[in-house]
Chain A
């Protein structure tokens, strides 16, 4: 019995080690040295609930774990089904935080405002690169946004000449040439779905043949098990079975989904990730929430961002958002 359990623990530890090395494998991203260490304060208690983006799900979990190491009495609950689930949750008051991978739409803001009289507040918590993934054996080198549009969209608003159906249409040869491209994407509740549609599809419509997956990791899983697949999802969900395709706005200038390219804006699918909250602009925010926000913008909080595969925000931006919320 004891031997068996020992073997199990060892295997488990090995798996953990492996998965951790996979997670930390991407390029080293520098933290802004200006970010400060988090200092715990006294008198923080209560419960927090977060409902919203699936892209931010892991990140929220990691933050809440870090936060709870300072305040063990605080309970944090996290649910992530898609950015569009955040506004209803904030309006109904079922959640204090609504992580979103896109900005709120005016209708959502209006529904919130009707109940509370003021608009919801938001903070920009991390930078994400939306990546186009293919199977790890796929030889494709680079795609222009217009090609991505012609692969995923039936309206082709980017202006590419013809619809792209097979890998041969993208210039691949040999066994790949005649293989149809299998498309994976997110469900429509996701902010990723909307962002990709707006930027990569030039606001056009997805083909009906894009297989909608309920989560970012399901997209990556689908691509890993389907050799001729292509799909999009947050870069943080990359695994060893898939690779990201460098993208170009103008032909010839390809940029991979790296931190540097995301910050400079050379990579066309870099975006902010948001956390929305219900805050009365004329009242002070309660200590649990303000401490959580401070934690997000601390050195530890942004370290976690890197660990999860996203890119951290700078001190300047953090201060800007903290000031807007009148925290500190």
Chain B
């Protein structure tokens, strides 16, 4: 029930079992055999139990570390196969590989197709596009390479589909006479069959489709570059196409299909718009069209990029023209990473960098946005020859002309793997869709397939704990945004906001809980009648047994709206309530001694309670008036900086501080003389005198804090923007209240135990020397019990750090990083509770959540160790008394 009773009686309880045994051994016959036996059994059982506890804790620690370690490992090459495909190309083909690494498709820009088995390189029979005799002059593809666009000499464009289709077959549906390719795969010459679990076979084949001719561009003028993209949700798919012809004209066409969800009829709408032409002489080499079709990027041979803004479809404009690389350096490769936001550029000097389109108000571009080079990668030693993004995450490949291939991650800037084809002129690259393979094809038909394992490319120490500049963000920062419904989304896994949230919740709930709990404990142990204490303490302990989910629920749905409505009254209550209690105690002194002694016990406690209720009532009634006077009618607006100066709030903050300072100064200056003088007067006069003195102190401290507040306001200091700022309904103040309910009883009851167990003779000696109960409590009892009180606080703190349900329910779980008490937070523990059900086992998020657990473990471990060290020091000091 009381976890730390042994702390108060260290001399007796700690070495108890062995000591007892020794005594039993020294005086044979004194203890009965059964007692000695029971003693021994208990000794063993406790020892074994203790050892098991330590093993269990270490086991948990080791388990956590084991789960977390893979996050920090890069990638590994698990296998290499090299073969000669016998396919030669003049210009680099577009490669595609299916997710099982069965078939590789190589598509030349002229529309011819070759397929081969990915594991052995054996040529397979490939289907072909039928362009009715025409020859494509340009080709583009979507990010996943499933939709292609061909441009022709006569200005027409055709969409085409190239899908690697997968089917699951039962063995009886397998075609007869299959050739064995390797230990896994069979083939009928065109498709690849592989055995999968459950006595089934998987058939992977290439399927082509060709659509009707489109007339997007001016007829008769050859198309030199084309790109296409596919986007939208399943209910409203969109497809876009951009063409550049030899006259420099740029056309964009966007097709939106809207599926009637009831009738299944699709309404297709195609809009075409003409973009401003590219400058004369610019030879367009790269065309990039993101799936949202809100921008078009063109790049010419010299490395100049033209960015068109098409956010207003009817009025597109050329927003930016700039060189991405320094003059003299050619732009060899350019492409998007997954999500089609980050632009990767590889130069002829071997440099690789990522550009974001960012809002820079001082930019000289037409739309205020500009391309900013945000990431720099380990450069290649030779000119970059090709670049290939993965279909998963921000991983991408770059190859240089010396044959070196690097697998990198766009966010962590890390180089995950290094590969060397051992041959020159890698013509084409592809990453397997599941990020488990890399295929490189050389111009002479030589190919290498690397089997790779990069389970967690996106995490490194830097992305988890450092500032990261994410796509589209104006600057680097700490961000937690872990998951979303689409594959394009990049998880942002910085633990810093979560650690901050835990610290913030603990801090605010402790500055609320510690004074109340400690003062309550001192009062109960030193001043309160034993009988009342016998009632109060169990009631407080009952409070601790309230389930935290109930506290959180009440805090979120009842307390939060009430606090929001009465925020001014709540703030006022922090001042009015203590003032009322102090005022009432001065009034109490006017009572004749006989009466006050008779009312000492229950009546006094009831009166204190009444005073507290009266204080709350007063705060509630004067709340609106207070709000009018101090915050011009609305605290929420004031705190949002809509109106009002800084002085009123600063005044309120300074008031308690200046009160303490002024009263200390007063007692220093004339306290002794006042006391001597009061000794000569009657009790009634003395009471009047001390009340008057207090009134004077209050007046002076109001003046002092007023002056200080005005001074600070002049100096430009403002509380807003630091620990008070925009008011949000679910905020840390509410958490503080709710957590107070959970933490106060623990600190209170443990501290009270510690204080009560201070030997009575110390108290008696102090009182006998003429010290008042307050002096005895503060200067004798508290220091003696300090080690116990301190561990009470630490146990309360441990509870606050690990508390989950209150934080989940009562805060908005917003991963923000500011000290604003009127804003929410997202704590480590709450985050684990919220996100664990959605994480795939052994996935990145799953492991990061374990890391969050490990961090929490480390935090509590540090706190407890520190607490224990400090406690030991206090105890040693207390022992010397």
B560 contacts which chain A residues (CB < 8 A)?
225
Name the interface residues of A99-119: CB closer than 8 Å to any CB of B. 102-103, 105-108, 110-111, 115-118
Name the interface residues of B448-503: CB closer than 8 Å to any CB of A. 470-473, 479, 481-489, 492, 497
Which of A13-21, A69-77, A199-207, A232-240 is found at the contact surface with chain B? A199-207
- The yes or no answer to B402 lying at the interface (CB within 8 A) is no
A282 touches B816 (CB 8 A): no
In the complex where A178-B642, A182-B728 touch, is A316 in contact with B264 (Cβ < 8 A)? yes
In the complex where A118-B200, A178-B642, A212-B812 touch, is A271 in contact with B235 (Cβ < 8 A)? yes
Which residue of A205, A268, A280, A320 has the most chain B CB atoms within 10 A of its CB atom?
A205
B264 touches A157 (CB 8 A): no
A118 contacts which chain B residues (CB < 8 A)?
168, 196, 198, 200
The residue that B834 contacts in the complex, of A127, A212, A314, A317, with Cβ under 8 A, is A212
- Could you give, for residues 149-174 of chain B, a 1 whenever the CB lies within 8 Å of some chain A CB and a 0 otherwise? 00000000000000000001110000
- The yes or no answer to B277 lying at the interface (CB within 8 A) is no
A84 touches B813 (CB 8 A): no
Instruction: Say how far B595's CB is from chain A's closest CB, in angstroms.
Output: 47
A263 touches B260 (CB 8 A): yes
A189 contacts which chain B residues (CB < 8 A)?
483, 834-835, 837-838
Instruction: Say how far B822's CB is from chain A's closest CB, in angstroms.
Output: 11
- The yes or no answer to A49 lying at the interface (CB within 8 A) is no
The residue that A188 contacts in the complex, of B169, B292, B838, with Cβ under 8 A, is B838
User: Roughly how many angstroms separate A318 CA and B473 CA in the complex, as a whole number?
Assistant: 43
- The yes or no answer to B756 lying at the interface (CB within 8 A) is no
A226 touches B729 (CB 8 A): yes
A214 contacts which chain B residues (CB < 8 A)?
808, 834
Instruction: Say how far B391's CB is from chain A's closest CB, in angstroms.
Output: 8
A206 touches B200 (CB 8 A): no
- The yes or no answer to A265 lying at the interface (CB within 8 A) is yes
A210 touches B812 (CB 8 A): yes
In the complex where A106-B392, A117-B200, A221-B557 touch, is A204 in contact with B472 (Cβ < 8 A)? yes
- The yes or no answer to A159 lying at the interface (CB within 8 A) is yes
Instruction: Say how far B583's CB is from chain A's closest CB, in angstroms.
Output: 36
User: Roughly how many angstroms separate A271 CA and B259 CA in the complex, as a whole number?
Assistant: 11
A187 contacts which chain B residues (CB < 8 A)?
813, 834-835
- The yes or no answer to A220 lying at the interface (CB within 8 A) is no
B824 contacts which chain A residues (CB < 8 A)?
209, 211
B561 touches A155 (CB 8 A): no
Instruction: Say how far A274's CB is from chain B's closest CB, in angstroms.
Output: 10
Which residue of A118, A194, A203, A268 has the most chain B CB atoms within 10 A of its CB atom?
A203
B481 touches A159 (CB 8 A): no
In the complex where A212-B812, A282-B200 touch, is A188 in contact with B483 (Cβ < 8 A)? yes
A178 touches B483 (CB 8 A): no
The residue that B485 contacts in the complex, of A110, A178, A197, A211, with Cβ under 8 A, is A197
The residue that B170 contacts in the complex, of A111, A191, A203, A282, with Cβ under 8 A, is A282
- The yes or no answer to B434 lying at the interface (CB within 8 A) is yes
B484 contacts which chain A residues (CB < 8 A)?
188, 193-194, 197-198
User: Roughly how many angstroms separate A46 CA and B780 CA in the complex, as a whole number?
Assistant: 72
User: Roughly how many angstroms separate A32 CA and B263 CA in the complex, as a whole number?
Assistant: 10
B483 touches A87 (CB 8 A): no
A203 touches B292 (CB 8 A): yes
A191 contacts which chain B residues (CB < 8 A)?
485
Instruction: Say how far A122's CB is from chain B's closest CB, in angstroms.
Output: 11
- The yes or no answer to A281 lying at the interface (CB within 8 A) is yes
- The yes or no answer to A262 lying at the interface (CB within 8 A) is yes
Residue of B nearest to A155 (CB): B472
Instruction: Say how far A84's CB is from chain B's closest CB, in angstroms.
Output: 3
B837 touches A84 (CB 8 A): yes
Interface of chain B: mostly helix, strand, loop or mixed: loop
- The yes or no answer to B690 lying at the interface (CB within 8 A) is no
Residue of B nearest to A192 (CB): B485
A116 touches B263 (CB 8 A): no
Instruction: Say how far A184's CB is from chain B's closest CB, in angstroms.
Output: 8
Instruction: Say how far B454's CB is from chain A's closest CB, in angstroms.
Output: 14
A272 touches B258 (CB 8 A): no
A225 touches B557 (CB 8 A): yes
Residue of A nearest to B634 (CB): A178
A265 touches B485 (CB 8 A): no
User: Roughly how many angstroms separate A88 CA and B842 CA in the complex, as a whole number?
Assistant: 11
A107 touches B487 (CB 8 A): yes
- The yes or no answer to A264 lying at the interface (CB within 8 A) is yes
- The yes or no answer to A277 lying at the interface (CB within 8 A) is no
A116 touches B198 (CB 8 A): yes
A282 contacts which chain B residues (CB < 8 A)?
168-170, 200
- The yes or no answer to B868 lying at the interface (CB within 8 A) is no
- The yes or no answer to B294 lying at the interface (CB within 8 A) is yes
- The yes or no answer to A144 lying at the interface (CB within 8 A) is no
A268 contacts which chain B residues (CB < 8 A)?
236
- The yes or no answer to A82 lying at the interface (CB within 8 A) is yes
B489 touches A203 (CB 8 A): yes
B561 touches A265 (CB 8 A): no
A265 touches B267 (CB 8 A): yes
A204 contacts which chain B residues (CB < 8 A)?
472
B261 touches A313 (CB 8 A): yes
Instruction: Say how far B281's CB is from chain A's closest CB, in angstroms.
Output: 31
B200 contacts which chain A residues (CB < 8 A)?
117-118, 282
- Could you give, for residues 230-255 of chain B, a 1 whenever the CB lies within 8 Å of some chain A CB and a 0 otherwise? 00011110000000000000000000
B816 contacts which chain A residues (CB < 8 A)?
208-209
A32 touches B168 (CB 8 A): no
- Could you give, for residues 635-671 of chain B, a 1 whenever the CB lies within 8 Å of some chain A CB and a 0 otherwise? 0110010100000000000000000000000000000
- The yes or no answer to A64 lying at the interface (CB within 8 A) is no
A212 touches B813 (CB 8 A): yes
The residue that B813 contacts in the complex, of A103, A203, A211, A265, with Cβ under 8 A, is A211
Residue of B nearest to A266 (CB): B258
User: Roughly how many angstroms separate A105 CA and B481 CA in the complex, as a whole number?
Assistant: 17
User: Roughly how many angstroms separate A84 CA and B262 CA in the complex, as a whole number?
Assistant: 27
- Could you give, for residues 296-328 of chain A, a 1 whenever the CB lies within 8 Å of some chain B CB and a 0 otherwise? 000000000000000101101100100000000
Which residue of A82, A208, A280 has the most chain B CB atoms within 10 A of its CB atom?
A208
B234 contacts which chain A residues (CB < 8 A)?
103, 271-272
In the complex where A127-B261, A188-B835, A226-B561 touch, is A195 in contact with B485 (Cβ < 8 A)? yes
B434 contacts which chain A residues (CB < 8 A)?
110
- Could you give, for residues 186-206 of chain B, a 1 whenever the CB lies within 8 Å of some chain A CB and a 0 otherwise? 000000000011101010000
A85 touches B485 (CB 8 A): no
- Could you give, for residues 819-851 of chain B, a 1 whenever the CB lies within 8 Å of some chain A CB and a 0 otherwise? 000011000000000110111110100000000
Residue of A nearest to B258 (CB): A265
- The yes or no answer to B814 lying at the interface (CB within 8 A) is yes
- Could you give, for residues 239-270 of chain A, a 1 whenever the CB lies within 8 Å of some chain B CB and a 0 otherwise? 00000000000000000000000111100101
In the complex where A32-B262, A117-B198 touch, is A194 in contact with B486 (Cβ < 8 A)? yes
- The yes or no answer to B420 lying at the interface (CB within 8 A) is no
B168 contacts which chain A residues (CB < 8 A)?
117-118, 281-282
B729 touches A270 (CB 8 A): no
Which residue of A87, A189, A194 has the most chain B CB atoms within 10 A of its CB atom?
A189
B808 contacts which chain A residues (CB < 8 A)?
214
A-B contact pairs, 27 of them (CB 8 A): A88-B839, A105-B487, A106-B392, A107-B392, A110-B434, A118-B198, A159-B294, A178-B640, A179-B636, A189-B838, A199-B233, A203-B489, A205-B473, A205-B481, A208-B479, A208-B497, A211-B824, A212-B814, A213-B812, A221-B557, A222-B730, A225-B729, A263-B261, A265-B235, A265-B259, A265-B267, A313-B262
Chain A residues close to B by CB (< 8 Å): 32, 81-85, 87-88, 102-103, 105-108, 110-111, 115-118, 127, 154-157, 159, 166, 178-180, 182, 184, 187-189, 191, 193-195, 197-199, 202-206, 208-214, 221-222, 225-226, 229, 262-265, 268, 270-272, 280-282, 311, 313-314, 316-317, 320
